[in-house]
Structure 1
Amino acid sequence: MNLIKSFNNNVALVEDASGTEWVVLGNGVGFGKEKGSLINEEKIKKKFIAASRRPFVDMIEEIPISIFETTEKMIQTAEAVIGATLNQQLFLALADHVHHAVKRVHENVDYPHTNRWELQKLYPKEHQAAVEAIRVVYDTSDIILPKSEETFLTYHFVNAQGRSAQLSETMKMTEAINQVITVIEYHYELELNEQSLNYLRLLTHLRYFLLRQIHGENLDQNDMDDDLIEMIKAKYQKAFGCANKIARILNKHYSWDITQNEKIYLTLHINRLLL
């Protein structure tokens, strides 16, 4: 690999024999090097394809090396907590995020920390990794990131696993869960107990229910006996009315057609939530 540009001693833009450009990181990888000189590949700890050079260059030149070092520790900690290797593309995205999060702390700017409780229940390992990542920032830089960062970092760690739950999908699901919970609370004129076991069971059901909607995979309409459906609708009229309301709102916001079976299962979870 040949050097194109050295950002500092440990970060450089290089080109391989095929002409592909990479951002490489490693102790001393860019130290004392001039443009066109060979890079000692044994020093490279991480590398990322620079698909669009200008955004990479602009971003990397702005980020202090201390942020890169902190980001590396955050990812190592997250991988240990989650028990999985995270996608390499996470490194630069997370470094950029942490850099701006630290700037927001200095400027006393924060975002509302919505969805934190739902994410904690939907993705407990990733949420715990986010909590630990905030601790890493504190340990390495004496900066306390706000609680809102638990949400943003959880999204990053979910997305970085290459799972079906991509970042946009996760955000849509947590947004929809908040809407469902709000409808239930308005319908029954009460505030749900977020610490209860039935609340956790509802969130678990909603996670798979909403994933099915996102992927267009509703439960088979013929899976449940018609007599049983009518019995549940009659026995749990208020819960079924709430499920119908939820179905109408989800259809309005996301154009999802909620089947009768989905509404029945939702009815049972809503009713159990209020026992």
Structure 2
Amino acid sequence: MRVKKVFNNNVVLGVDEHGAETVLMGRGLGFQVKPGDQLDSDRVERHFVPQAMPAERLAALAAAIPLDEIEVMEEVVAAARDRLGGKISEHVLLPLADHVHLALARARAGAQIEYPLKWEIENLYPAEAAMGRTALDIIEQRLGVRLNEDEALPLALHFVNAQIGSGSGSGSGDIAATLQMTQWLRVALEMIGEDYGVEIDQHSLAAARFITHLRYLFLRARDGKPTPDVDDGIGEAVRQAKPLQYATAERLALKMEEMFAWNVGREEILYLALHVSRLTARDDTAEGTHADA
């Protein structure tokens, strides 16, 4: 690996023999080196492979964050991986550290930001929101600054991004997409509550399954990915057996098309109908016996 560009004493943009670029970090890694020099791999402590963000931009982002803050956020990412699963990868580290770096600067200046969708984040992503609060504890213990409690909310969104495949280092664009998805989840649950005259228990197992399904439906629709094939006879059987739930599913599909101009196929409507059936089932029914969609 050779040096392509030195950003500071700790951050270097490297390039391999195939021309692939990697952001490399290590204490003193960039000291007295210049473009074209061979890098000492033993001094490399971290490396980041650019994905959605250009390599030079990613390197500049890394160079702007003190190493001690990055080390603290590595601890946060490790804790999030333990709690939320292995999909929390190193790709979320730099966007997360960048947000915390700016939040620390605001805290030291006595400035605050109002974050939208506080209720939605707390209720739709309870595990991620809890991890966001744990992150605030770790930051306080390691850096001696207590961030405003609302800072747990954007941290939670970063953890959501990482789990659904958006935590690739593209920064604010990912957060914008996740906020968009969060708005859709809220609208969907409100529509179901209105159709059935009930208040949906956001913390029930059925709601958790439904929200997970809606997350992946959002991503499939956004990325234009096909829905798993379903036999037409099964779809018609569900429509006949559960006409109210199927009608609600059609309304949800139509609303998604209105909000995002995405096509929602008949197979997705079938899965939505099954989830609506579970979500609105009474305790004394057998609705929960359906296989997960």
**TM-score normalised by structure 1 residue count:** 0.71
| 1:272 aligns to 2:278 (yes or no) | no
Mapped contact 2:248–2:273 kept (Cα < 8 A) = no
| 1:181 aligns to 2:181 (yes or no) | no
Mapped contact 2:13–2:59 kept (Cα < 8 A) = no
Letter in 2 for 1:27: R
| Structure 1 counterpart of 2:242 | 232
| Structure 2 counterpart of 1:110 | 114
Q: Deviations 1:3-52 (Å, cap 9, x if unpaired)?
A: 843624xx132545647654322234345x25466643212111235785
- Larger radius of gyration, structure 1 or 2? 1
| Structure 2 counterpart of 1:5 | 6
| 1:257 aligns to 2:264 (yes or no) | yes
Give runs of aligned pairs for residues 72-111 of structure 1, distance below 5 A: 72-84=74-86, 87-105=89-107, 106-111=110-115
Q: How many residues align?
A: 261
Which residue among 225, 232, 252 is the counterpart of 1:222? 232
SS of aligned partner of 1:7: coil
| 1:157 aligns to 2:159 (yes or no) | no
Q: Distance in 2 between matches of 1:131 and 1:24?
A: 30
- Judged with a 3 Å threshold, the aligned counterparts in structure 2 of structure 1 residues 64 and 80 are, in CA distance, closer, same or farther, namely same
The structural deviation recorded for 1:180 is: 0.8
Q: Which runs of 5+ in 2 are unaligned?
A: 285-293
Which residue among 182, 185, 200 is the counterpart of 1:192? 200
CA-based RMSD of the aligned residues comes to 3.9
- Judged with a 3 Å threshold, the aligned counterparts in structure 2 of structure 1 residues 219 and 38 are, in CA distance, closer, same or farther, namely closer
Q: Distance in 2 between matches of 1:17 and 1:201?
A: 44
Mapped contact 2:253–2:264 kept (Cα < 8 A) = yes
The structural deviation recorded for 1:183 is: 0.9
| Structure 2 counterpart of 1:26 | 26
Letter in 2 for 1:216: P
The structural deviation recorded for 1:222 is: 1.5
Which residue among 233, 236, 243 is the counterpart of 2:249? 243
Name whichever of 52-61 and 250-259 sits farther off: 52-61
Give runs of aligned pairs for residues 41-80 of structure 1, distance below 5 A: 41-48=41-48, 52=54, 55-56=57-58, 58-80=60-82
Letter in 1 for 2:253: A
SS of aligned partner of 1:115: helix
Mapped contact 1:94–1:156 kept (Cα < 8 A) = no
- Judged with a 3 Å threshold, the aligned counterparts in structure 2 of structure 1 residues 45 and 223 are, in CA distance, closer, same or farther, namely farther
The structural deviation recorded for 1:61 is: 4.3
Q: Percent identity?
A: 18
- Judged with a 3 Å threshold, the aligned counterparts in structure 2 of structure 1 residues 28 and 81 are, in CA distance, closer, same or farther, namely farther
Mapped contact 2:74–2:93 kept (Cα < 8 A) = yes
**TM-score normalised by structure 2 residue count:** 0.68
- Judged with a 3 Å threshold, the aligned counterparts in structure 2 of structure 1 residues 73 and 187 are, in CA distance, closer, same or farther, namely same
Q: Distance in 1 between matches of 2:213 and 2:282?
A: 12
The structural deviation recorded for 1:182 is: 1.5
Q: Which runs of 5+ in 1 are unaligned?
A: none
SS of aligned partner of 2:24: strand
